[in-house]
Structure 1
Amino acid sequence: MSVSATVPHAVDRIGLATVLLVALGLRTALGILQPTELTHDRDAYLGIARQIAGGQGYSSPASTTPTAFRPPLYPLLLAAAGSVFPWPAAVFLVNSIGSTLLIVGVWLLADSLGLRCWQRIAGLLAAVDPLLVQYAGQPMTESLFAGLVAMWLASAIRPSTGWRGDSLTGVLFGLAVLCRPTLWPLAGLYALIWIWRLAGGIRAGALRAACLRLPWAGVVAAAVVVAPWALRNQMVFGIPLLTTTHGGYTLLLANNPVFYRDVVSQSADIAWPGESLQSWQTDLAAAIHTELGPSAGEVAEDRLQSRWAWNYIREHPRAFRDSMGYRIRSLWRLAPQGQATGSRVWLSRAAAGFYLILFLLAGAGLMRVFLTGNVQRWLPLLLVLVTIQSVHLFYWTDARMRAPLVPVLVLLAVLGLEGLTSRRRAAAGD
């Protein structure tokens, strides 16, 4: 059932427009207050985008060497916007598109999950999320990825609308994994679910019917979206890479003896000291050069680093266990690590307070999902939660890695809030 079937269009549009204005207003203010952050290229996305816009192809910054170190969607969008606007405006535009998709996705999710009365609260929680506001002012994927995940979820939880609806869901999934590959294991979880359904069809003697119920159009649509990236990598690197050549590094970054010694084994959780990290990176580059030579290429380096990481995990199970605990705490940290000064102290405390309340409400909402037998309805959101947490048991983790979980968390939070208010009304009625 659509929103317009139960509430006036004007009220709904006003609420959505208000939430969007809050989200874009906060991000505009941040861009004005911190204009240099819009081009502070920590992850080389902007550098790759400049190469594309300059006709050098998808190559490493300041070179003509093809790369697959970063996923392609965000740099491609930056390059398109940067061909028309100055680079700071291009970053702001692409991130604002991501923020808009997030709000719209959360709005649609609240409607589909029976939380229509809580749409504005859910939208506002997503709009003011401190991490997403912060990273909307930088050339990083958090805003776009969170928005694509929200839109994919909104499409995935709807009742089937035929091949067109399934195709849209597949397209959104393909775009999401091209923005950040973290979501790829979700496809494996769905594959297991579909295999289970096929097995049920075999037991019931209705295999053909079970096959026809599978979202083949969505699978094909996702494959069509991802295929150009895989084909490009086949032509450039000789391998149809669906992800990036960055995974081995991030796995090794989170599983090595220096990280364990200087970070995990400390008495309190700390960020990796800059001097220690830089020294480790220098030693790593030298070790790769010694092992592979000067011109091995990204794919060989990625595989080598992945092999070193898995060797360390197998040989040091206790260190790996302790590191997993550190990564879980890092993903769910209330406030950024590091020493805040001046006004940032209050901002850090405000962010911590926001997340403390959000997590408590989301926890209450998660309990309601299971206690009320609503797991099937919420399954796509729960699978995203499981996927992101599972990936970051192994790979490098900090709080910004939970950006794709924002739509899940805010919907669970308003479900928890609905439960609390319903209980108070019931108590008042008694």
Structure 2
Amino acid sequence: MGMKSHVTTWSDLPGGFWKLLLIGMGLRILWAFAIPVLPVSDSLAYHQFARTLVDHGVYGWSALEPTAYWAVGTSGLVAFTYLFTDSYVGVVILNLIAGFMILTLSHHLAARWFAPRVGLLAMALVAFWPNLIFFTTILSSELFFIAMTLAGLFFWQRPVGNPMANLILAGLVWGLTSYIRPVILLVPVALALVDLVRGPRRFAVTAMEAGIAVLLIMLIAMPWTMRNQQVFGTPVMISTNFGPNLWMGNNPASNGGYMELPPEVGPMSEIERSDYLKAEAKQFTIENPGAAIRLLGVKLVKLNIRETIGVVWNEVHLRDMIGDRGVLGAKLIATGYWYLLLAGALTGMVAIGRRQGITAAFFNPPVALWGYFTALHVVVVAEDRYHMPSAPFIAILAAVALHALLLQPRTPPGKKAFPA
């Protein structure tokens, strides 16, 4: 890619970093004081699983109903807080820690990949991102997954320290992340593809590193795989919901989003249900290629058309506070910000292309990861919440665009707006 690394220590960070960190965390803390946590939808499931873990030591709806449908990591983290309090204070604290990690790591990675000022701009965009603020009071996997994904990236190809130690740390962090969402498994592969344009020798090295990271992820996930073997008789890596999710996005009645599972799977075990629905989805795709391709487009639109889930999952208390019109306004603000960031990210790709060539516009870490998470849900099932793992990478690319827009006029002739 030809991007220069910019390594800083805490003492080297500019004053703007600390101001943005104070603002970003302040907004999240103020939101937490204003809006209580109220689990709904998936949040309610995570809460129930966490309570069952604490009360019975079983991950499931009850002591007699073990499950692996949802990944255990989110409920496990929440269960830890329930050891100390029956309130949701621990949930908010965990979300604030995740928010802190997202803010600081977005800055670090943007500065490493592009330039220090791009890091500050990316941090600013994340600090004021409404949806990321709203999720401070939502019991969910989103903030945890984003934070841990970025934490692994901190070590991935880190320009200082022992390369093998950094690689192992990246794999270990992402292995723990797999307990939150197993889709982390192929992130190293997506990152390896970035080096396709850097020649076969460099790509071979990165591909080997990706293979080691994937192996480490699988090894870290092995205890839960063995647990699933004992409970279900089949070694499922983390969760059993891939088949249902694939079917939701690929069947004759699909609109690309969430839908109730068909009644015939009711009596089936989780493994049987997943295998059956996976086979149904594959059969639909083979027999109806035109419809399957059309659904890919539908899911791409559905994934990006709005950003209202942070409002929806806080809606009960928001409505009490600001009424229906206020709730609508919050949805419009959140979606408007999303559209601006989306346009900014695409513009950032153009800016990279103009400075470093068309291949650099597509073969860089933020684009690779944005593309990976997008492709995953375009193939499987899409809702607006599923674009959230791409949020920091979209912010970084939008920061590149802002950097080019705001600072390029000050750049002396012949010098690039961000280092190559």
Short-chain TM bin: 0.7 to 0.9
Who is 1:233 aligned against?
228
Who is 1:383 aligned against?
368
Counterpart of 2:32, as a letter, is G
Pair 392,116 (structure 1): closer, same or farther in 2 beyond 3 Å: same
Q: CA deviation at 1:403?
A: 1.2
Structure 2 CA distance, aligned partners of 1:369 and 1:195?
A: 17
Matches within 5 A, 1:71-86: 71-86=71-86
Who is 2:393 aligned against?
408
Q: Is the 8 A contact 1:53 1:83 kept in 2?
A: yes
Who is 1:304 aligned against?
276
Who is 2:244 aligned against?
249
Q: CA deviation at 1:141?
A: 0.7
The 10-residue stretch of structure 1 (179-188 or 322-331) with the greater mean CA deviation from structure 2: 179-188
Q: CA deviation at 1:401?
A: 0.7
Q: Is the 8 A contact 1:237 1:299 kept in 2?
A: yes
Who is 2:304 aligned against?
332
Who is 1:399 aligned against?
384
Gaps of 5+ in 1: 265-270
Pair 19,231 (structure 1): closer, same or farther in 2 beyond 3 Å: farther
The 10-residue stretch of structure 1 (145-154 or 328-337) with the greater mean CA deviation from structure 2: 328-337
Counterpart of 2:115, as a letter, is L
User: Which of 326, 333, 352 is the aligned partner of 1:350?
Assistant: 333
Structure 2 CA distance, aligned partners of 1:134 and 1:326?
A: 27
Alignment partner of 2:386: what SS? Answer: helix
Structure 1 CA distance, aligned partners of 2:151 and 2:62?
A: 35
Q: CA deviation at 1:191?
A: 7.0
Alignment partner of 1:257: what SS? Answer: coil
Counterpart of 1:353, as a letter, is G
Pair 109,305 (structure 1): closer, same or farther in 2 beyond 3 Å: same
Who is 1:180 aligned against?
181
Structure 1 CA distance, aligned partners of 2:69 and 2:280?
A: 18
Pair 180,297 (structure 1): closer, same or farther in 2 beyond 3 Å: same
Q: Is the 8 A contact 1:40 1:139 kept in 2?
A: no
Structure 2 CA distance, aligned partners of 1:423 and 1:19?
A: 22
TM-score for the superposition, normalised by structure 2:
0.82
Matches within 5 A, 1:100-115: 100-115=100-115
Counterpart of 1:2, as a letter, is V
User: Which of 4, 8, 11 is the aligned partner of 1:9?
Assistant: 11
Q: Is the 8 A contact 1:112 1:158 kept in 2?
A: no
Q: CA deviation at 1:218?
A: 4.1
Counterpart of 1:9, as a letter, is S
Q: Deviations over 1:246-278 (max 9, x none)?
A: 111112222233334xxx7xxxxxx87xxxx5x
Q: Is the 8 A contact 1:70 1:246 kept in 2?
A: yes
Q: Deviations over 1:303-329 (max 9, x none)?
A: 111112222222222322222112111
Structure 2 CA distance, aligned partners of 1:211 and 1:329?
A: 33
Counterpart of 1:344, as a letter, is V
Counterpart of 1:23, as a letter, is G
Decide which structure has the larger Cα Rg and report it.
1
The 10-residue stretch of structure 1 (94-103 or 339-348) with the greater mean CA deviation from structure 2: 339-348
Q: CA deviation at 1:426?
A: 5.6
Q: Is the 8 A contact 1:157 1:380 kept in 2?
A: no
Structure 2 CA distance, aligned partners of 1:212 and 1:319?
A: 35
Who is 1:316 aligned against?
288
Structure 1 CA distance, aligned partners of 2:46 and 2:19?
A: 31
Q: Is the 8 A contact 2:191 2:365 kept in 1?
A: no
Q: Deviations over 1:210-240 (max 9, x none)?
A: 6997477645543432221222222222222
Pair 303,334 (structure 1): closer, same or farther in 2 beyond 3 Å: same
Counterpart of 1:346, as a letter, is G
Q: Deviations over 1:290-315 (max 9, x none)?
A: xxxx3x42111111111122222222
The 10-residue stretch of structure 1 (346-355 or 384-393) with the greater mean CA deviation from structure 2: 346-355
The 10-residue stretch of structure 1 (151-160 or 49-58) with the greater mean CA deviation from structure 2: 151-160
Q: Is the 8 A contact 2:148 2:177 kept in 1?
A: yes
Matches within 5 A, 1:113-132: 113-132=113-132
The 10-residue stretch of structure 1 (36-45 or 410-419) with the greater mean CA deviation from structure 2: 36-45
User: Which of 344, 358, 362 is the aligned partner of 2:345?
Assistant: 362
Structure 2 CA distance, aligned partners of 1:162 and 1:364?
A: 33
Give yes or no for the alignment of 1:258 onto 2:257. no
Structure 1 CA distance, aligned partners of 2:206 and 2:406?
A: 43
Q: CA deviation at 1:421?
A: 2.4
Q: Is the 8 A contact 2:131 2:307 kept in 1?
A: no
TM-score for the superposition, normalised by structure 1:
0.80
The 10-residue stretch of structure 1 (218-227 or 71-80) with the greater mean CA deviation from structure 2: 218-227
Structure 2 CA distance, aligned partners of 1:410 and 1:211?
A: 25
Alignment partner of 1:244: what SS? Answer: coil
Pair 97,304 (structure 1): closer, same or farther in 2 beyond 3 Å: same
Q: Is the 8 A contact 1:105 1:154 kept in 2?
A: yes
Q: CA deviation at 1:110?
A: 2.3
Pair 111,189 (structure 1): closer, same or farther in 2 beyond 3 Å: closer
Alignment partner of 1:151: what SS? Answer: helix
Count of residue pairs the alignment pairs up: 395
Structure 2 CA distance, aligned partners of 1:405 and 1:72?
A: 22
Q: CA deviation at 1:142?
A: 0.9
Counterpart of 2:250, as a letter, is N
Q: Is the 8 A contact 1:186 1:384 kept in 2?
A: yes
Alignment partner of 2:144: what SS? Answer: helix
Pair 121,376 (structure 1): closer, same or farther in 2 beyond 3 Å: closer
Q: Is the 8 A contact 1:330 1:397 kept in 2?
A: yes
Counterpart of 2:251, as a letter, is N
Counterpart of 1:287, as a letter, is E
Instruction: Please give the root-mean-square deviation of Cα atoms over the aligned residues, in Å.
Output: 3.5
